[in-house]
Amino acid sequence: MPVTAHVAREFPAGPDAIAAADDFLGDFGKTNSIPERVLFRARVCVAELMANALEHGQASPDADCFTISAEWNGCSTLDVEFTDTTAPFDPTRHEGVPDSAPYSGSDGGRGLRLMRGLASGSRYRHDGERNRVGLRFLVQ
């Protein structure tokens, strides 16, 4: 019977958090034998969310933090929640350039397009203190 595994960690909201979070997810995946392809999608999405919060949310290590929680159901589904304390912003919404538009290289929001394309499902809410982005990745 599949065993559910869960981890969570907080990171100071600085550039170093991206690599630290990637290592964190990588270790979780290795420990729980999560399929490489599924884990890779999650790692890319979390990196893009963090980069977006740093670049556009102006996250500061002194004032803000990120959290990541991940849950693997043991066979088919990886759920990841990313939170940050920057201003309310919904990265799951399609704004600006449509996701179907050709890559121009200069337009913004392409990291979030990547996130929306790689995740099987996404949801967003602001709980009054934090942006909370939930992403689901399915073994296909």
Partner 1 sequence: MQYKIVDGPAETAIVVLDGKLDYSAAGQIEMPMSVLAGSKKGLIIDLSALTFLASIGIRHLVTAAKAIQRKGGRIVLLRPTASIAEVLATSGVTELIPVVQSDIEARTAIGLAG
d(CA 49, CA 110): 11
d(CA 26, CA 20): 10
Closest contact distance (angstroms) between CB of 52 and partner 1 is 9
Exposure of 88 in the CB half-sphere (CA atoms within 13 A): 6
Closest contact distance (angstroms) between CB of 113 and partner 1 is 7
Question: With binding defined as CB under 8 A, does residue 7 bind partner 1?
Answer: no
Nearer to partner 1, 2 or 121 (CB): 121
Any residues with CB less than 8 A from the CB of 9 and at least 6 apart, and which?
21, 24, 67, 68, 69
Question: With binding defined as CB under 8 A, does residue 21 bind partner 1?
Answer: no
Question: With binding defined as CB under 8 A, does residue 140 bind partner 1?
Answer: no
Query: Which of 32, 13, 127, 119 minimizes the C-alpha distance to 75?
Result: 32
Interface with partner 1 (CB under 8 A), residue total 28
For the sheet containing 121-126, what is the strand order? Answer: 5-12, 65-72, 77-84, 131-138, 121-126
Any residues with CB less than 8 A from the CB of 64 and at least 6 apart, and which?
13, 53, 57, 84, 85, 86
Closest contact distance (angstroms) between CB of 12 and partner 1 is 15
Nearer to partner 1, 19 or 87 (CB): 19
- Binding string, 64-103, against partner 1, x = CB under 8 A? -------------------------------------xxx
Q: Which residues bind partner 1 (CB under 8 A)?
A: 15-16, 18-19, 22, 36-37, 40-41, 43-44, 47-48, 50-51, 54, 101-106, 110-111, 113-114, 117-118
